[in-house]
Amino acid sequence: MTSSTSGRAAARGERDGTGPGRRGGRRLRRGSLTPEVIVAESLRLLDAQGADGFSLPKLGRALGADPTAVYRHFASKDDLVLAIADRLIEEAMTGLSARPCWADTVAEVVRRLRATYRAHPGAASLSASRTTQRPAEMRVVNVLIGAVLQAGFEGAAAARVYRALGDFALAWAGGEAAFLALDPGLQQADRAAWARAYLAVDQAEYPHIWQIRDDLASVTDDDIFEMILSLVVDGFLARAPRPCTCAKHVSPDTATASAT
Amino acid sequence: MTSSTSGRAAARGERDGTGPGRRGGRRLRRGSLTPEVIVAESLRLLDAQGADGFSLPKLGRALGADPTAVYRHFASKDDLVLAIADRLIEEAMTGLSARPCWADTVAEVVRRLRATYRAHPGAASLSASRTTQRPAEMRVVNVLIGAVLQAGFEGAAAARVYRALGDFALAWAGGEAAFLALDPGLQQADRAAWARAYLAVDQAEYPHIWQIRDDLASVTDDDIFEMILSLVVDGFLARAPRPCTCAKHVSPDTATASAT
DNA sequence: GGTTCGTAGTCAATGCCTCTGACAAAGGCT
DNA sequence: AGCCTTTGTCAGAGGCATTGACTACGAACC
């Protein structure tokens, strides 16, 4: 199954020059690399250069160490990614506690996750859709389930509602992060589509697009997110056995909370 | 990745070690490789072996050609991924047309995208969050906007609602695909968390998790998806200037629209 | 203080990847 | 037939994930 005739001469031209900070530099002091330092530097690199160019050799060099030094602390790149994922959840959820109104708690959790993922799109796009089951994650899970129980859901229904909320938060934040982690050029081309390509669309072929072509570019990410979030939260408010009695949730302005 | 798919691949693509699938084989006939053939084989490879091992050399060999042959038809791997993305949308939306009830149209579009992404998780995880702006995509956009207009939304509001629906569909389907594209072992570990790890959680530390620990494992992906989808669709029904008049949607209270 | 010992950091190497530029054969064109 | 573009092939540069061997640092113990 393995290839038999592929080239193998790639590793021949090894220059022996001693680049600074690279291979051949002075040896690092013994305690210099810790998991915390490595994760922190990973975040810095990912924020600065995106997820595509992120590699363990680069990370090692950025730390002033050998390209393979990180492997002394993480068994594999995937192992490091998990640590980064947990670090993100921790950053998102520090100081989180339940609010009086459970709907507020739910909204805050989702908003916090989204904000952190948007702040670190490279890291988020690597680690979204991974669950770490470490303390930071468990705490959020507990808070979310607490809100669901506070709403009066019980047993299997509560489990379904919690999973729906958790998956929704992860899917949305992960999706936005994946987009923001693309090459800036690609992102620009994508956003430009709303502003240019759809403007010039053929009326006969795509009449509905044509009809609102002028309005498509003005929609912001925040618009979209808050709209979907309110649909989800209001929907659960309407379905909850024990809805929230906050002032803002009993007023009819949100159209579904307790209108009619 | 360690699944026993190699036998199937060998039976079809790489007949034996001396076949044209490797360097040194006989030259392929001139029109053998077309974008369509290459995309089709990519999908087959991605379905069989997942996204991690997918490479252009492998693809070339699977086609019985040179490892670099694909570069004659696609400028880069990213270019190929875009073509795959469009192919997925096409597969998801063939035969799609507006239903009498706009809410049904919306639900069908979202369900179709999800079904296709779940059927090709490897391909979907590569191509989600990319927009192609090619005909297949434009047609869905047009249908979706048509449904939104049918609901009575206009101008900027219609644009917001459409974008929310589209992003929701993409985020959800992409999120599920990303999970399904992980190593089967990782997926198993993740699912097992609901069944085992959460069962043994400490009551004092995470009391809410503890309270519904027995119910967490019984939630299915379909449960979750249909729940969120109904929240979104029902929410737009409630907010629409011209709600649907289908029998199932005319009930005056939104909370009873789709009781579960 | 000196010796020992585990380990963090370094080095060399393997095999795979993306992508390029040079080259050659295969057809279409006149 | 002769020419020209296209398309498949080949060799290779440079990068990445990962491994096994080596080495020196610093703690532990005498």
**Residues listed for chain B:** 260
Contacts of A156 in chain B (CB under 8 A): 215, 218-219
- How far apart (Å, rounded) are the C-alpha atoms in residues B187 and B180? 7
pLDDT (0 to 100) of residue B142: 97
Q: What's the CA angle centered on A153, arms A152 and A157, to 5 degrees?
A: 170
3-class secondary-structure state, position A245: coil
Q: Provide the sign of the torsion angle of the four alpha carbons A19, A71, B180, A133, taken in this order.
A: negative
Nucleotides of C under 7 A from a protein CB: 7-21, 25-27
Distances (CA, A) of A26 to A14, A18, A38, B73, B200: 19, 10, 19, 47, 48
Per-residue pLDDT of chain A (260 residues; tens, 9 = 90+): 333 333 333 233 333 333 444 576 678 898 899 999 999 999 999 999 999 999 999 999 999 999 999 999 999 999 999 999 999 999 999 999 999 999 999 999 999 999 999 999 999 999 998 988 889 999 999 999 999 999 999 999 999 999 999 999 999 999 999 999 998 888 888 888 888 888 999 999 999 999 999 999 999 999 999 999 999 999 999 999 998 878 677 655 444 444 33
CB contact under 8 A, A4 and B10: no
Query: Residue B16 burial (CB < 10 Å; 0-12/13-18/19+)?
Result: exposed
- How far apart (Å, rounded) are the C-alpha atoms in residues B142 and B195? 43
pLDDT (0 to 100) of residue A18: 39
Residue type, B241: P
B58 touches strand C (CB under 7 A): yes
Taking alpha carbons only, the member of A237, A257, A228, A253 closest to residue A152 is A237
This prediction has a pTM of 0.88
Q: What is the number of alpha carbons within 13 Å of residue A225 lying toward its C-beta?
A: 22
Q: Helices marked H in chain B — which ranges?
A: 6-12, 35-49, 56-62, 77-93, 102-119, 121-127, 135-150, 155-180, 184-192, 207-211, 221-239
Q: What is the mean pLDDT of each run of 10 residues along chain B (260 residues)?
A: 35 40 76 95 97 97 97 97 96 94 97 98 95 91 98 97 98 97 88 86 96 95 98 97 79 46
Query: Residue B152 burial (CB < 10 Å; 0-12/13-18/19+)?
Result: middle
Please name the residue whose C-alpha is nearest to the C1' of nucleotide C26. B30
- How far apart (Å, rounded) are the C-alpha atoms in residues B63 and B55? 12
Q: Closest Cα of chain A to B210: distance in Å?
A: 9
Taking alpha carbons only, the member of A242, A230, A153, A135 closest to residue B216 is A153
CB-CB neighbours of B95 under 10 Å = 5
- How far apart (Å, rounded) are the C-alpha atoms in residues A159 and B105? 29
- The answer to whether residue A79 neighbours chain B at the CB level (below 8 Å) is no
